[in-house]
Amino acid sequence: MSLLTLAPDNVRNISYPTPNARQIRHNNETLPPHVIVLFGAAGDLAKRKLLPGLAYLDQSAFSPEIRVVATSLEDFRDEEFLQHAKAAIDEFGHRHPTDEQWANFAAKVHYVPQSAGPAALAAAVAAAEVELGSEARRLHYLSVPPKAAQAVISMLEDADLVKRSKVVMEKPFGTDLDSAVALNAFVHRTFKESQIFRIDHFLGKEAAQNILAFRFANGLFEPIWNRNFIDHIQIDIPEKLGLDKRANFYESTGAFKDMVVTHLFQVMAFVVMEPPTALEPRAISEEKDKVFRSMLPLNPDDVVRGQYQGYRDEPGVSAESETETFIALKVGIDNWRWAGVPIYLRTGKKMAEGQRIISVAFKEAPRTMFPAGAGVGSQGPNHLTFDLADDSKVSLSFYGKRPGPGMRLEKLSMQFSTEQSGAVADVLEAYERLFLDAMRGDHTLFTTAEGIEALWERSTPLLRDPPAVKMYPAGTWGPNAIHQLIAPNAWRLPFERMWRE
């Protein structure tokens, strides 16, 4: 029986145990009120993620009292910005506020054009702090292009908004080792490392954090989480969308700098890190940084760069552009646990589907005891798969006997989803969770200066000598060379989705 024709009855759904009483985080932890200064408030990220996230966080039981001071290059008045924000929340928010909830949130938002200068920004923050009281803290969110980050840091210093504050910085953090070192040095002249939060929204997803729970809370998985039992690992983040009017940004960045360094490597660290001494930010960050230091330098021969057909016709893209819109690579970890286990990463634009999975392939069992044609191994090895989509699925595939005479084997699956959990109402979206963690001062899901510099250092061979881009048709899974990269194995997508469904 093929993977594509498995009966639905083979799927077993397992729900999380649900406590009798809903646990509310802020019942156990009181956070001081915060003024959130949102730079780039009229930008695409703010429209799609940040404004909807703040609106929901404000009405949730998790958030402290907040005020939002929004700023960007647009010369909005308060009313105009609120209209912009309401439209963004209605279009992109997963949860839509009631009229009363929207009115409550809107009363907490004030807009200051960036052209008004540091004094106007400082005055708006001071007014918000008067409303919140003397215990108020500041969270500066820099939703701006990398080249604008230094100007914003300087503006915060000129406005005297560094004290009692934290700063969240968006990807990419630098474009190579030299630029990352220089940017770290510049930011450290104003903010301490403990105040800096380099964001990766992939780690804010429930499924990404569930990796830590699966590994370290269960005696079932951690004893086999090593080179003796795991054959290879795939982290696969194809995107169906194209540039979405971001040609200027993408031309100077590409898929590797935009996605791999800032997202896929961070997720990889959760998958392969050693057990931390405690489930607390410093210990987890130390283990993630050890992973980055243990990475082998990226070999250009183990990389496939691609560009979708028609990319060079996009507005703002050079007709001779060599920017990759797709990348697949093989990564090695040079330590005792993972020596010899390849880790395959893939991401790209305008691919066949938008998916986000981590798939751990286990080594196959000896087959000699089963008769020829029994089917063992015919549908690939056992896989443990984490789906990083918002409904956060985890599935485990294995072989079992098909009912009937004779020894015929077929692939079975067990899976569960947070949608089946009674605590699903407590689940925060990635950016909502990261806003909250930054206000708490929790660096667990953020990248350190040492970690980001180590990643750029390991990436230097690829950046110096990138392989030529190979063209691929939009709506496919990338250039054909990806199959040679992963041979003798096969990419888990698209079969994983078909298998689970």
Using one digit for the tens of pLDDT, what is the confidence trace for 131-174?
A: 999 999 999 999 998 788 999 999 999 999 999 999 999 888 88
On the question of pLDDT at 252 being above 50, the answer is yes
Mean pLDDT of 200-224: 83
Write down the pLDDT at residue 18.
38
In three-state secondary structure terms, 360 is strand
| Of the listed ranges 261-270, 415-424, 473-482, the one predicted with least confidence | 415-424
For the chain, the average pLDDT equals 87
- Contacts of residue 274, defined as CB under 8 A and 6 or more positions apart, other chains included, come to 287, 290, 337
**Cα dihedral 452/453/456/461 (nearest 10):** -150
Strand, helix or coil for residue 476: strand
Is pLDDT at 24 greater than 80 in this prediction?
Answer: no
pLDDT of residue 429: 78
- What is the spatial distance between Cα 206 and Cα 210, in angstroms, rounded to a whole number? 6
Q: Which of 373, 401, 299, 358 is nearest to 492 (CA)?
A: 358
Active-site residue list:
263
What is the identity of the amino acid at 147?
Answer: K
Whether residue 418 has pLDDT greater than 80: no
| Location of each CATH 3.40.50.720 domain in the chain | 32-170
Annotate 435-457 with b (16+ C-beta within 10 A) or e (fewer): bbbbbeebbbbbbbbbbbbbbbb
Are 351 and 309 in contact, with CB atoms under 8 Å apart? no
Residue 25 has pLDDT above 70, yes or no: no
- Where along the chain do the CATH 3.30.360.10 domains lie? 204-428+453-500
- Secondary structure (H, E, C), 348-372: ECCECCCCCEEEEEECCCCCCCCCC
Is 393 annotated as contributing to ligand binding?
A: no
**Is pLDDT of 346 > 90?**
yes
pLDDT of residue 293: 97
Is the pLDDT at 500 greater than 90? The verdict is: no
470 is in an annotated binding site: no
pLDDT of res. 146:
78
401, 221 Cβ separation under 8 angstroms: no
pLDDT tens string 347-356: 999 999 999 9
Of 443, 469, 476, the closest CA to residue 193 belongs to: 443
Phi, psi of 134 (to 5 degrees): -70, -15
Give the integer Cα–Cα distance in Å for 269 and 206: 16
> What whole-number distance in Å separates Cα of residue 300 and Cα of residue 462?
5
Mean per-residue pLDDT, 424-446:
82
Residue 349 annotated as lining a ligand binding site: yes
Position 400 scores a pLDDT of 80
Question: Residues 324-329: what's their mean pLDDT?
Answer: 98
So what's the pLDDT on residue 404? Answer: 79
192 is in an annotated binding site: no
pLDDT category of residue 378 using cuts at 50, 70 and 90: low
What is residue 268's predicted lDDT score, i.e. its pLDDT?
A: 96
- For 20, the token pair is 């009798």
Q: What is the pLDDT of residue 6?
A: 38
Residue 473: band (very low, low, confident or very high) from pLDDT cuts 50, 70, 90 = very high
Q: Which conformational region is residue 122 in: left (phi greater than 0), alpha (psi within -120 to 50 degrees), or beta? A: alpha
Q: Do 221 and 214 touch, CB atoms closer than 8 A?
A: yes
Residue 125: is its pLDDT beyond 50? yes
Residues 396, 493, 364, 345, CA torsion sign: negative
> DSSP 3-state assignment of 451?
helix
pLDDT at 273 over 70: yes
More confident: 368 or 316: 316
- How does residue 30 score in pLDDT terms, banded at 50, 70 and 90? confident
Widest distance between CA atoms in the chain: 82
Q: Say what angle helices 99-106 and 51-59 make with each other, to 10 degrees.
A: 110
Residue 9 has pLDDT above 50, yes or no: no
In this predicted structure, what is the pLDDT of residue 243?
Answer: 84
β-pairing verdict for 393-401 and 409-417: antiparallel
Q: Which has more pLDDT, 116 or 401?
A: 116
User: What's the pTM?
Assistant: 0.86
Highest mean pLDDT among 13-22, 59-68, 222-231, 367-376: 222-231
Pairing, β 165-169 against β 393-401: unpaired
- Are residues 88 and 51 in contact, defined by beta-carbon separation less than 8 angstroms? yes
Model pLDDT, residue 227: 97
478 backbone φψ class: left, alpha, beta (φ>0; ψ -120 to 50): left
> Is residue 166 annotated as involved in ligand binding?
no
* CA-wise closest residue to 67 among 39, 88, 37, 23: 37
Chain-centre distance for alpha carbon 326 = 17
186: pLDDT confidence band, cut at 50, 70 and 90?
A: very high
Is the pLDDT at 22 greater than 70? The verdict is no
Q: What is the pLDDT of residue 425?
A: 52
What's the whole-number mean pLDDT along residues 6-23? Answer: 37
Which pLDDT band, with edges at 50, 70 and 90, does 423 fall under?
low
Q: Rounded to an integer, what distance in angstroms lies between the CA atom of residue 305 and that of residue 144?
A: 27
Class of domain 32-170: alpha beta
Instruction: Tell me how crowded residue 496 is: count the other CB atoms within 10 A of its CB.
Output: 22
Interatomic CA distance for residues 38 and 46, integer angstroms: 8
Nearest to 311 by CA among 299, 298, 324: 324
Task: Calculate the CA 38 to chain-centre distance.
Answer: 20
What pLDDT is attached to residue 71? 97
Helix pair 281-294, 265-272: axis angle to 10 deg: 100
Each residue's pLDDT tens digit, 290-325: 999 999 999 999 999 999 999 999 998 999 999 999
Q: How confident is the model at residue 498 (pLDDT cuts 50, 70, 90)?
A: low
CATH 2.40.440.10 describes domain 204-428+453-500? no
Phi and psi (nearest 5°) for 357? -130, 155
Q: Binding site annotation covers 239?
A: yes
Task: Please give the residue that has the higher pLDDT: either 256 or 3.
Answer: 256
Token pair of 296, please? 């082998």
Backbone phi and psi for residue 96, each to the nearest 5 degrees, phi listed first: -100, 125
Query: What is the distance between the terminal CA atoms of the chain, rounded to a whole angstrom?
Result: 15
Q: Which two tokens stand for residue 457?
A: 């250092």
Strand order through the sheet with 11-13: 11-13, 409-417, 393-401, 383-387, 357-362, 230-238, 343-348, 326-331, 303-308, 470-472
